Amino acid sequence: MSHRTIYIIVGAVVAVLLVVMLATFDYGTPNKDEAKANDLIAAYQDAGLTNRLDAEQLAKLLGDDGGAVCQAAADLPSGHAVRGYVKLRFGVGGEFYFRPTRLDRNLVARSLLIVKTYCPDQLPDVRNFVDGLRLADVNGD
Amino acid sequence: MTDASASFDPAVDAPAVPVARTKTGTVGVISWSALALMTVSSVASLRPAPTMAVYGLACVFLYLLPAVVFLIPTALVSAELASGWEGGVYRWVTEGISPNMGFAAAWHQFAMTIFYYPTLLSFVASTLAYVIDPSLASNGVFTAVVIIVAYWAGVLLSLRGGIGVVAKLASSGVLIGTLIPGALLVVLGITYLLQGNPSAAPMGAGHFLPAWTGIASIVLIVSNFGAYSGMEMNAVHVNELDDPPRQFPKAMFVAVALVLVILILPPLAISWMVPAEQISLTAGVMQAFSAVLAHFGIQWLTPVIGLAIVLASLAGFLTWLSGPSRSLLLVAKQGGYLPPYFQRTNAAGVQENILVVQGFVTTVLALLFALVPAVSNAYWIFMTITTSVYLLVYLWLFVAAVRLRRLQPDHPRGYRAPALPLLCGVGFVASLAAIAISFVPPSQFGSGSPATFVAIVGGGILILGLIIPYALIKLRKPTWQLGEAEAAS
């Protein structure tokens, strides 16, 4: 097989993947919900945790469904591969070398508050997952 | 492991001459810029960016300190050694310490890659799932199929195309999937701040250093010392360059600059725009990108970015596939360390049987990772063990470099690293510290006993790093030492 043929095949596979990904992606724009964002800010304050973004910015990031946080929360109970994969990403490093470290207790507390505010049904599963982790004061806030 | 009786047969040993004088039929297969990009794809990508973004401004320190104590020593020492000797780490360790240690170094490089592929390719699966159908992310069968198909497609590409095709695809992949999306992320981050938005993470000078909270801070800082592991790996292809003594150091210096930019700036940009708590549980680069693109109303770019990131991961995969297995082939051929079956190459000179056998092991690991809960939950332990085994390579590398300066001071080198003993001393201590810190239980170990963790990690390092290579050395037979013609056939 000539190199040219290889490049053509690789190019064709990439083109097909691009078409599939463009065709299947959900382009829906999440609804903003500033009321929920305000609830989250209040929850941070009640827990004594700092928050740097206002309700409008949080609403943009979390929408009305908790965005990526609640998506991850929904995946945790159903997929052990997801849990294994997420555990692989708690750490530091580069592309090849990646080492598990200790997660910050306050950071996890903040994530749990997002789950509690936006997708409370998932809270027991996420809490169950988090309870299996050894947390530490890492960020010092 | 340092059995003196296992010395090289000069008849099959590659000549110890400066690589510039060693002209073979394959010289000039890779350009120096392609080698630089291959090195970048081996070490850096956007994959760790969200994970590091949770540390805010401190992520800069977390990458700069390892750059001083590990990246610079590794890059400069590798540049000197590659400009004097062909073959990469196994050859340097062989010349500087002993042939058996050269084989051990090649094994230590190779061993980690077997466990690395399922994690890298499962990232490809999760990225595809994120764009195509997020529910696929929790589907173990989908993950297993993507890992296995991608792995064997990579093997087929390597076997059919050889290193020339791999170099072109890998360098294109890093350009499309890392440099361009990384630059986009940074531009969007700067724009976000210029629009008057407050940074999601504090950026004051007081936040440059990670907070000091005792052992957790030490684990955080020292664990990252090895972040630049792999900088030396592509030196195995040095004889594919036109003028290795000049071009390899040049490729290395360009790679160092790009790696620093790629690893530091994108996480910083993410930390400006996305609060840490929104990425800590997902640790996903697509989730981070999605949040950033949504802010600017350009979510339509998400599938394109997703594909680009997949291509970058596959580029890194191809680079790793062709490097350590090549080292293992060369050292096996020169010292007869593996049965003749593993020394066989195809018409393109690619180590086909090593890749195929490695493929079967990877396939089994992928199936276990994706389908067996106990394995996927514990897979991070394999990564802890194998990163430590990989770091052993650097111990041998730095010792070999110092010894080569003493044993072969007049051996021509295209580049001489300044203050080499100091560089090697600093790099050695940093590597040793990163190995030592792997014995501290991380979050993933939960409430398990630290002694159990030490036993698991120590046992794993012992088996993978010492017992297996020692057994292979002891089991080898004189008949495994093939002549040059026989090995080539």
pLDDT tens-digit map of A52-105: 888 988 998 888 888 888 988 887 776 667 778 788 888 899 998 988 888 889
Q: Which amino acid is at B91?
A: R
Nearest residue in chain A measured CA to CA from B209 = A139
Report the domain count for chain A: 1
SS3 B196: coil
CA atoms within 13 A on the CB side of B365: 23
Question: Are the CB atoms for B239 and B27 separated by under 8 Å?
Answer: yes
How many CB atoms within 10 Å of residue B187? 11
C-alpha of A73 from chain center: 8
Residue A96 is part of which domain span? 29-136
- Would you state the pLDDT for residue B389? 95
- B residues 39-68 near A, CB within 8 Å? 41-45, 47-48, 51-52, 54-55, 62
Q: Tell me, yes or no, whether A41 lies in a domain.
A: yes
Residue A9 placed within a domain: no
How far apart are the C-alpha atoms of B173 and B310, rounded to whole Å? 9
B144 touches B370 (CB < 8 A): yes
Asked, for residue A106, whether it belongs to a domain, the answer is yes
B276·A135 Cβ contact <8 A: no
Which of B145, B208, B280, B322 is the best mutation test for A, with the most CBs of A within 10 A?
B280
Note whether residue A23 is domain-resident: no
**CB proximity A30 to B under 8 Å:** yes
In order of A80, B154, B164, B165, B322, the CA distances from A4 in angstroms are: 41, 17, 12, 10, 20
Question: What is residue A14's predicted lDDT score, i.e. its pLDDT?
Answer: 96
Q: Which of residues 419-448 of B touch A (CB under 8 A)?
A: 434, 438, 441-447
The DSSP code for B15 is P
Which chain A residues have a beta carbon less than 8 Å from that of B158?
Answer: none
Interface test with A, best of B278, B289, B390, B456 (most A CBs within 10 A): B278
Residue A43: pLDDT above 70?
yes
Do the Cβ atoms of A97 and B387 come within 8 Å? yes
Cα–Cα distance between B332 and B339 in angstroms, integer?
8
Chain A residues inside the 8 Å CB shell of B215: 136
Q: What is the pLDDT of residue B20?
A: 42
Asked if B370 and A81 come within 8 Å (Cβ–Cβ), the reply is yes
The CA distance from B211 to B229, in Å, is 25
3-state secondary structure B411-470: CCCCCCCCCHHHHHHHHHHHHHHHHHHCCCCCHHHCCCCHHHHHHHHHHHHHHHHHHHHH
Give the pLDDT confidence score for residue A78 in this predicted structure: 66
Whether the full predicted model's pTM is greater than 0.80, yes or no, is yes
* A22 lies in some domain: no
Between the alpha carbon of residue B264 and those of residues B1, B49, B131, the distances in Å are 39, 8, 26
A136 DSSP β-pair partners: A104
Task: Give the pLDDT confidence score for residue B215 in this predicted structure.
Answer: 86
**Strands A91-93 vs A135-136: parallel, antiparallel or unpaired:** unpaired
Q: Contact at 8 Å (CB) between B368 and B121?
A: no
CA gyration radius, chain A = 20
Shortest CA distance from B366: residue in chain A: A81
From the list A18, A78, A137, the residue facing B216 with the nearest CB is A137
Q: What is the chain A residue with the closest CA to B124? A: A85
Does residue A112 sit within a domain? yes
pLDDT computed for residue B50 by the predictor: 92
Question: With contacts defined as CB-CB under 8 Å, which chain B residues touch A132?
Answer: 446
Please answer whether residues B42 and B316 qualify as being in contact, where contact means their C-beta atoms are separated by less than 8 angstroms.
yes
Contacts of B212 (CB under 8 A, 6+ apart): A140
Rounded percentage of chain A residues whose pLDDT exceeds 70:
95
- Parallel, antiparallel, or unpaired for β A135-136 and A103-104? parallel
The residues in A 78-137 lying below 8 A from B, measured between CB atoms, are 78-104, 107-108, 110-111, 113-114, 126, 132-137
Q: How far is B479 from chain A (nearest CA, A)?
A: 34
User: CB-CB: which of B43, B157, B287 is closest to A68?
Assistant: B287
Decide: residue B328, CB within 10 A, 0-12 exposed, 13-18 middle, 19+ buried.
buried
Tell me the residue type at B238. V
Six-digit token string for B225 = 């010392």
Alpha carbons A11 and B162: distance in angstroms, whole number: 18
pLDDT under 70: residue ranges of chain B: 1-28, 283, 483-489
d(CA B136, CA B103): 41
* Domain presence at residue A44: yes
Whether A78 maps to a domain, the answer reads yes
B95: which 2 tokens?
A: 């010349």
Structure tokens at A33: 């919900």
Tokens of B418: 């300044």
Report the distance separating Cα B367 and Cα B355, nearest Å. Answer: 18
The answer to whether residue A19 scores a pLDDT higher than 90 is: yes
Share of chain B residues as helix, strand and coil, in percent rounded to the nearest 5? 75, 0, 25
